[in-house]
Amino acid sequence: MTVTERMAELGIHLPDPAKPVGSYVPAIQAGSLVVTSGQLPMREGMLVCAGKVGLDVTLEQASAGAGIAVTNALAAAAAVVGGIERIKRVVRVCVYVNSAPGFTDQPKVANGASDLLVKIFGDNGRHARSAVGVSELPLNAAVELDLMVQVAV
Amino acid sequence: MTVTERMAELGIHLPDPAKPVGSYVPAIQAGSLVVTSGQLPMREGMLVCAGKVGLDVTLEQASAGAGIAVTNALAAAAAVVGGIERIKRVVRVCVYVNSAPGFTDQPKVANGASDLLVKIFGDNGRHARSAVGVSELPLNAAVELDLMVQVAV
Amino acid sequence: MTVTERMAELGIHLPDPAKPVGSYVPAIQAGSLVVTSGQLPMREGMLVCAGKVGLDVTLEQASAGAGIAVTNALAAAAAVVGGIERIKRVVRVCVYVNSAPGFTDQPKVANGASDLLVKIFGDNGRHARSAVGVSELPLNAAVELDLMVQVAV
What structural domains does chain C harbor?
A: 3-151 (3.30.1330.40)
Binary contact (B140, C104; C-beta < 8 A): yes
Nearest CA in chain A to C40: A130
Q: How many residues does chain A have?
A: 153
Nearest chain C Cα distance for residue B93, angstroms: 12
Please name every residue paired with C34 in a beta bridge, in sequence order, or none if there are none.
Answer: C29, C149
Is B106 near chain A, with CB under 8 Å?
A: yes
Give me the mean pLDDT over the A34-46 stretch: 96
Using CB atoms, which residue from A118, A130, A150 is nearest to C23? A118
Binary contact (B37, C135; C-beta < 8 A): no
Question: How many CB contacts within 8 angstroms connect chain A with chain C?
Answer: 93
- Mind giving me the DSSP string for chain B? --HHHHHHHHT--PPPPPPP-SSB-SEEEETTEEEEPPB--EETTEE-SBS-BTTTB-HHHHHHHHHHHHHHHHHHHHHHHTSGGGEEEEEEEEEEEEB-TT---HHHHHHHHHHHHHHHHGGGG-BEEEEEEESB-GGGBSEEEEEEEEE--
Using CB atoms, which residue from B25, B35, B137 is nearest to C126? B25
Distance of alpha carbon C33 from alpha carbon A101, whole angstroms: 35
Question: Which DSSP letter does residue C82 get?
Answer: T
Is B120 near chain A, with CB under 8 Å?
A: no
Residue C20 has pLDDT above 90, yes or no: no
> Nearest to residue C30, comparing CAs of C153, C147, C130?
C153
The pLDDT tens digits of the residues spanning A96-128 come to: 999 999 999 999 999 999 999 999 999 999 999
Q: Place C153 in a pLDDT band, splitting at 50, 70 and 90.
A: confident
Using CB atoms, which residue from B24, B26, B144 is nearest to C132? B144
Q: Which pLDDT score, from 0 to 100, does residue A18 have?
A: 78
3-state SS class at C127: strand
Q: Which pLDDT score, from 0 to 100, does residue A5 have?
A: 94
Q: Place C19 in a pLDDT band, splitting at 50, 70 and 90.
A: confident
Give me the mean pLDDT over the A57-67 stretch: 98
Distance of alpha carbon B142 from alpha carbon B99, whole angstroms: 8
The pLDDT tens digits of the residues spanning C79-126 come to: 999 999 999 999 999 999 999 999 999 999 999 999 999 999 999 999
Is B92 near chain A, with CB under 8 Å?
A: yes
Mean pLDDT across chain B, nearest whole number? 96
Using CB atoms, which residue from B93, B111, B128 is nearest to A36? B128
Q: How many residues does chain C have?
A: 153
Q: With beta carbons under 8 A apart, name residues in chain A contacting B88.
A: none
Q: With beta carbons under 8 A apart, name residues in chain C contacting A131.
A: 38, 138
The pLDDT tens digits of the residues spanning B70-121 come to: 999 999 999 999 999 999 999 999 999 999 999 999 999 999 999 999 999 9
Question: Which DSSP letter does residue C121 get?
Answer: H
> Nearest to residue A72, comparing CAs of A18, A6, A9, A7?
A18
Binary contact (C24, A132; C-beta < 8 A): no
CB count within 10 Å of CB A57 equals: 25
CB count within 10 Å of CB A98 equals: 33
Q: With beta carbons under 8 A apart, name residues in chain B contacting C99.
A: 135-136
Residue C6 has pLDDT above 90, yes or no: yes
Distance of alpha carbon B85 from alpha carbon B69, whole angstroms: 19
Q: Which pLDDT score, from 0 to 100, does residue A19 have?
A: 79
Q: With beta carbons under 8 A apart, name residues in chain C contacting B38.
A: 129-132
Q: Which pLDDT score, from 0 to 100, does residue B88 have?
A: 97
Q: With beta carbons under 8 A apart, name residues in chain B contacting C106.
A: 136-138
The pLDDT tens digits of the residues spanning C129-138 come to: 999 999 999 9
CB C72 within 8 A of CB C15: yes
Distance of alpha carbon B6 from alpha carbon C69, whole angstroms: 44
Residues 6 or more apart whose Cβ sits within 8 Å of residue B60 = none
Residues 6 or more apart whose Cβ sits within 8 Å of residue A139 = A40, A47, A50, B104
ipTM: 0.96
Question: How many CB contacts within 8 angstroms connect chain B with chain C?
Answer: 92
Q: What is the 3-state secondary structure (H, E, C) of chain A?
A: CCHHHHHHHHCCCCCCCCCCCCCECCEEEECCEEEECCECCEECCEECCECCECCCECHHHHHHHHHHHHHHHHHHHHHHHCCHHHEEEEEEEEEEEEECCCCCCHHHHHHHHHHHHHHHHHHHHCEEEEEEEECECHHHECEEEEEEEEECC
Q: Place C1 in a pLDDT band, splitting at 50, 70 and 90.
A: confident
CB count within 10 Å of CB C44 equals: 7
CB C78 within 8 A of CB C32: no
Query: Order of strands, edge to edge, in the sheet holding B143-151?
Result: B27-30, B33-36, B143-151, B87-98, B128-134
Region of residue B44 (left: phi > 0; alpha: psi -120 to 50; beta: else): left
Distance of alpha carbon A86 from alpha carbon A89, whole angstroms: 9
Binary contact (B136, C89; C-beta < 8 A): no
In a mutational test of the B interface, the residue from A70, A135, A145, A153 whose CB has the highest number of chain B CBs within 10 Å is: A135
Q: With beta carbons under 8 A apart, name residues in chain B contacting A96.
A: 130, 132
Q: Which pLDDT score, from 0 to 100, does residue B59 have?
A: 98
Q: How far is CA C45 from each of CA A24, B82, C51, rounded to the nearest angstrom? A: 41, 45, 17
CB B57 within 8 A of CB B49: yes
